[in-house]
Amino acid sequence: MNFDTTFVLNMLTAVLLIVVAVVLYVNYGFKRKVNIKGKHVLISGGSKGIGLEVAAQCFQQGAKVTILARDENGLKEAKKYICSKSETKRDSEVIYFPVNVSKDYELLETIIQKAEDELGPIYGLFNIVGKAVCYRFLETPLNDFDDMIKVNYQSTVNCTRAVLKKMVTRNEGFIEITSSMAGLFGIYGFSAYSASKFALLGFAQTLAMEMKPHNISITITYPPDTDTPGFALENTTKVIMNFSLFARLIFIFCSILFKY
């Protein structure tokens, strides 16, 4: 019997995503709603891609916004874009700092203090710094594994630690941690990236338990492929898979369904 392989794969992927959503809801439920109007939020990786759009959305909802990234020119352009999303002139409520959050922890702490001095206590943190490389395991340079941990995991740890001390004393706040669909199940060609994103789940679950008595909400998100500059760069190294993807998707589907 003839069948359209692409259609079957797309349908199976759709069913898989639905099952993942149900499993996440059953395990974690809906988070409490957060009103950020007039509050100060910090976005790491806020100069482009998902981070930039999150910053713009927060600003539209009335939040004061601090964005962090490595490229100062990119941050300047990002501020213009974010400010353009408000109907009223509130340019002074968007500030930025160039910093490598995966390495410069002492500088990061200094920046957090400066940001709070200017815009007030940080109420929310969005950890969106991240990058991906895609090679088969035996073709992946060893330094890429170290790089993925630093960028995708250590960046989140550093930013979270830098803001959390004061959040605890104020007994309020929220922290968002950005993982990936590759942080839910392994994906062919992403051994370095996927492992770094899996680490974030353990971090988020542990942190959620520790912060619950302090009224601090911890949320982890799993964005799929998104049209961003980072995704475009990822595609330059992406491995082409063969028909074994079909068998792999079936395995993933069954693993989540029956919790193997």
DSSP H or E segment with residue 66: strand 64-69
d(C-alpha 133, C-alpha 231), whole Å: 10
| Residues known to be catalytic | 179, 193, 197
- Token readout for 163 is 């803001």
Would the CA dihedral through 207, 213, 216, 217 be positive or negative? positive
Would the CA dihedral through 229, 62, 34, 100 be positive or negative? positive
Please name which of 129, 142, 64, 123 lies closest in space to residue 98, comparing C-alpha atoms: 129
- DSSP-derived letter for residue 181 is G
Residue with the two structure tokens 């680490």: 199
If you count them, how many residues does the chain have? Answer: 260
How many other C-beta atoms can be found within 10 angstroms of the C-beta atom of residue 136?
A: 11
Q: What percentage of the chain's residues is helix, strand, coil (to nearest 5)?
A: 55, 15, 30
Strands of 40-44's sheet in order across: 94-98, 64-69, 40-44, 122-127, 173-178, 216-221
Would you call 123 exposed, middle or buried from its count of C-beta atoms within 10 A (0-12, 13-18, 19+)? buried
d(C-alpha 174, C-alpha 156), whole Å: 14
d(C-alpha 52, C-alpha 55), whole Å: 5
